[in-house]
Amino acid sequence: MTTQPRIALDDLTSDALDQLYDRLAALENGARERSALLEEARDALEAAGINEAHGGESWPRLVPAIEELAADRAGWKARFERVQERVGELEAEGVRHRADNARLTAGQCTDSRAMCEQHHAPPVDGCPYPRCRAARATGRAATA
């Protein structure tokens, strides 16, 4: 028996195949999660005695409601992840602000510091930054 020669996959085909495998894995994980949620809900209903109270017929009628709750759960999970991402962005911004504040002297605002840093090599009249005023008085550069 002869075998067909193997054709090497180009990058595009390989990437598409990887995407298909990733999607298959995501679908399988979703099916497992859905099954686990349904089993958990069924166990909770049975433990509460709801199924027997309705003559044992409530389980099939409750599946759509359980699936709706699972979809809501997925939506809230996605929203939580977006909030967590935003919290990370805000924490990074806070770190940047703390670093900026650490380089300021007492009573100095960021605008005056930025203005002075733009022209601190030669002192400039009207600059509110104390080092720039001192440099004008002594005639030296405002950098230390």
Position with higher pLDDT, 53 vs 70: 70
Same-domain pairing of 96 and 34:
yes
Same-domain pairing of 49 and 115:
no
pLDDT on residue 25: 80
- The residue out of 72, 87, 102 marking a domain boundary is 102
pLDDT on residue 112: 59
Same-domain pairing of 30 and 83:
yes
Same-domain pairing of 87 and 113:
no
Indicate whether 122 belongs to any domain. yes
Q: CA-CA distance, 107 to 7, in Å (whole number)?
A: 71
Same-domain pairing of 41 and 72:
yes
For the chain, give percent helix, strand, coil, nearest 5. Answer: 75, 0, 25
Same-domain pairing of 71 and 93:
yes
Tell me the pLDDT band of 144, cut-offs 50, 70 and 90: very low
Residue 116 has pLDDT above 70, yes or no: no
Q: Enter the pTM of the model.
A: 0.36
Structure tokens at 80: 């939580």
Structure tokens at 82: 């977006």
The pLDDT of 91-103, averaged and rounded, is 79
Same-domain pairing of 123 and 82:
no
Same-domain pairing of 51 and 120:
no
Burial 8-41 (b: 16+ CB within 10 A, else e): eeeeeeeeeeeeeeeeeeeeeeeeeeeeeebeeb
Q: CA-CA distance, 134 to 123, in Å (whole number)?
A: 9
Structure tokens at 46: 């049975």
- Give per-residue pLDDT as tens, 36-57: 877 787 777 777 666 565 565 6
Indicate whether 2 belongs to any domain. no
Indicate whether 8 belongs to any domain. no
Same-domain pairing of 135 and 86:
no
Tell me the pLDDT band of 70, cut-offs 50, 70 and 90: confident
The total number of structural domains in the chain stands at: 2
Chain-centroid distance, C-alpha 3: 49
Residue 1 has pLDDT above 50, yes or no: no
| DSSP calls for 18-46 | HHHHHHHHHHHHHHHHHHHHHHHHHHHHH
Same-domain pairing of 82 and 96:
yes
Indicate whether 3 belongs to any domain. no
Structure tokens at 41: 């809900």
Same-domain pairing of 97 and 116:
no
Structural domain boundaries enclosing 34:
14-102
Indicate whether 131 belongs to any domain. yes
